[in-house]
């Protein structure tokens, strides 16, 4: 499996906390390319998503995609059970001050 992954940033579906987030970047999930397929890894309000797709899983005009490299790091003792917490764990980011999808985007953008 490759060390490169893609973080996809999207709008939220209107949860109570949505007004406190960035107007466009409110949710994130991870895409991992693996032998011609896509592994989708994400955390929603009630569910944990982990599945594979054969085709491109998104329309490029509706999302922001950032390419990132996974790093081996020491895992922290605690992790927020949010989309950002799961994405940071996949990427090997231990910064406790990255709490929102927009903060993660600012950290990753080229």
pLDDT tens for the 110 residues of the chain, in order: 568 899 999 887 677 777 788 888 999 999 999 888 889 898 887 888 888 888 766 665 678 889 998 888 777 777 888 999 999 999 999 889 999 999 999 999 87
**Other CB atoms closer than 10 Å to residue 22's CB: what's the count?**
16
Q: In this predicted structure, what is the pLDDT of residue 56?
A: 67
Q: How far apart are CA 16 and CA 42, in angstroms?
A: 20
For residue 12 the two structure tokens come to 């939220």
Whole-structure pTM value:
0.84
What is the pLDDT at residue 24? 87
Cα torsion 66, 24, 11, 44 to 10°: value is 70
């Amino acid at each position: 499996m490759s060390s490169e992954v893609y973080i996809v940033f999207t709008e939220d579906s209107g949860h109570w906390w949505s007004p406190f987030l960035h107007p466009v970047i409110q949710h994130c999930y991870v895409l991992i390319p693996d032998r011609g397929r896509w592994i989708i890894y994400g955390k929603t309000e009630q569910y944990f998503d982990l599945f594979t797709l054969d085709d491109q899983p998104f329309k490029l005009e509706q999302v922001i995609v950032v390419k990132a490299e996974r790093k081996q790091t020491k895992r922290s003792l605690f992790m927020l059970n949010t989309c950002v917490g799961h994405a940071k764990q996949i990427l090997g980011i231990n910064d406790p001050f990255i709490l929102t999808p927009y903060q993660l985007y600012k950290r990753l953008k080229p």
